[in-house]
Structure 1
């Protein structure tokens, strides 16, 4: 760019890129400040990479750098969240921000910069995946619980309300639905998670089996059967069993080896991913109850008729949009589309029961 004078439009665009790079580097540094170990090092490396991109735009701008500018609103919002929370939500948002990089279509950005942004998206995706894994058990129960509460109790309240029964009947029906659904969700989630954990435990190697290793008949080598049962070929199983038995004398052998030969530590990760039965049950109960309460609120405050139905539907609609957006953010999908999908599903189910209530109300009347 030294052989020509950049246009005003180019200068504005470069300044915007410069401000965005500065803001993104600040986000990664803020996130790094709330972490330790490998995650901290990775985030600081990302901030350093953004600093290289920042220098590229400074070089192009030269004397036209001008006064410091603020980055894009979404980037500054990310920085605000990173400084105060540093959660997986911020990483999920950062992942989407990296995926929207304009560098591939900008002739003034280098191919290396465009490639960096692609890789940054995958790096942040990997960091976010760690947080998603830690959240997955309890979060799954929470999301399912609140959405079931919203949709099922809205459908119940609208269906009963459409029949023309007194508001008090609708209120007590909604409260009964709240309690019944919350207890059912909590109990069902507890049984589901406990059953899943018990299946994992049944498939996990028994550590006590290691005590039998020194006493195995080396000629028969029953250990070979263990590895064949886990998927190895007879030749691989024989070799692996021989290696394990050879290492017993040095106290390094372990029966708890997977079919691929790696230590059986992944089972622990699977247990962590599904969470505990009690935490999942409590999440389901509380979130179902909080979701199921919204359709009942208008009746609790004395509203009735069509006005109560409209308010209930509005409250639930806002909540459905919110939960859909949160799920979209955590999954790396477009939050607006997920929010609309959630709203459409919830209102579709409630609409069916409302019209059935109208039909039954007309026949009874």
Structure 2
């Protein structure tokens, strides 16, 4: 755009919006950095500096037209609130989505380097968010699966039993029994799963005895290279690694090398089996309680069914949104997927209950 021409009012408003967003996003990164240390803190502060350069660009274009600081939109204010209060992976996931929606590539008033910066920022934030996702993946998996299973299974249970025409008290007791049985089953299954997974990972790690034995190996004839070959190295690479380890021994014969390790995806075992089991129990129970609420408060018949379905639908949309948020994918598609799967299972069970009740009648 020719800067000698007076920009339109719409253009000035757009520049002001960009300025507000850049200023707010820089502050969000600084707020996140307060809760980080080391490399992550340095990366976040560097992102804030980059947003500051973009802010300066819009300030220069606005010039004397900038008579007051522009107001930040509600979305960015919400992000700032979460960054200051929590500084969690949720905020990074939201920032990842915000960076991906940059309008600079289609805006002639933004430079090519600014548009490129925003794309790179998205990947940087994606990397930071991935670190957070890996740290919470074990407990998060148990929480989401537990809540979703509780919602769907208990809704299907109470609707299926209720459709047979039994009394409201029977539906209520059935729902409570389903809650307790399902929560205990989920907790036990998650405990066994995580505990077994950690045992498998431990079985893949090099033995301490093997490390201590390196010092006594015959330099000219030994099987150390076979260890590396067994863990995926090519023969020449394994031999070179073994020679380097043997050549690095100190005069006391203490092993200063390390037996090769596999790139085991250990983040899947984040958290203990006990914490995963507790998360599964609590979240399944909280999810399974929702379909029972109408009968718990004395409702019966079709009104209870409709209210239970509505409450569970809202909760399913919530769990789907959280999954989409943390995975960096579409929030709407993940929310609708959860809703359709849950309603599909409940509807099928309800129809079967109607058929079964009709046969009994």
In the TM superposition, residue 315 of structure 1 has moved relative to its aligned partner by 1.1
Asked whether the equivalents of residues 99 and 121 of structure 1 are also in contact (C-alpha less than 8 Å), the reply is yes
Gaps of 5+ in 2: none
Structure 1 outlier segments of 4+, above 6 Å: none
Q: 1:220 to 1:187 in 2, by over 3 A?
A: same
Deviation larger for 232-241 or 104-113: 232-241
Task: Give 1:35's aligned residue.
Answer: 36
Asked whether the equivalents of residues 296 and 312 of structure 1 are also in contact (C-alpha less than 8 Å), the reply is yes
Equivalents in 1 of 2:255, 2:18: separation in Å? 55
Asked whether the equivalents of residues 207 and 256 of structure 1 are also in contact (C-alpha less than 8 Å), the reply is no
Task: Give 1:81's aligned residue.
Answer: 82
In the TM superposition, residue 252 of structure 1 has moved relative to its aligned partner by 5.6
Asked whether the equivalents of residues 210 and 255 of structure 1 are also in contact (C-alpha less than 8 Å), the reply is yes
In the TM superposition, residue 33 of structure 1 has moved relative to its aligned partner by 1.6
Among candidates 322, 326, 330, match of residue 334 of structure 1: 330
Asked whether the equivalents of residues 200 and 271 of structure 1 are also in contact (C-alpha less than 8 Å), the reply is no
In the TM superposition, residue 248 of structure 1 has moved relative to its aligned partner by 1.5
| Cα displacement string for residues 44-73 of structure 1 (whole angstroms, at most 9, x for unaligned residues) | 111111111011111111111121111221
Task: Give 2:200's aligned residue.
Answer: 199
Q: In the TM superposition, what are the counterparts of 1:255-334 in structure 2 within 5 Å?
A: 255-258=258-261, 267=264, 270=266, 273-334=269-330
Task: Give 1:126's aligned residue.
Answer: 127
Task: Give 1:349's aligned residue.
Answer: 345
Deviation larger for 90-99 or 70-79: 70-79
Task: Give 1:253's aligned residue.
Answer: 256
Q: TM-score normalised to the size of structure 2?
A: 0.96
| Cα displacement string for residues 209-263 of structure 1 (whole angstroms, at most 9, x for unaligned residues) | 222112212222121221121122332222221111111126463343237xxxx
Task: Give 1:115's aligned residue.
Answer: 116
Equivalents in 2 of 1:109, 1:233: separation in Å? 50
Q: 1:337 to 1:230 in 2, by over 3 A?
A: same
Q: 1:39 to 1:233 in 2, by over 3 A?
A: closer
| Cα displacement string for residues 9-60 of structure 1 (whole angstroms, at most 9, x for unaligned residues) | 1111111111111111111111112222211111111111111101111111
Matched pairs, number: 358
Q: 1:147 to 1:26 in 2, by over 3 A?
A: same
Task: Give 2:98's aligned residue.
Answer: 97
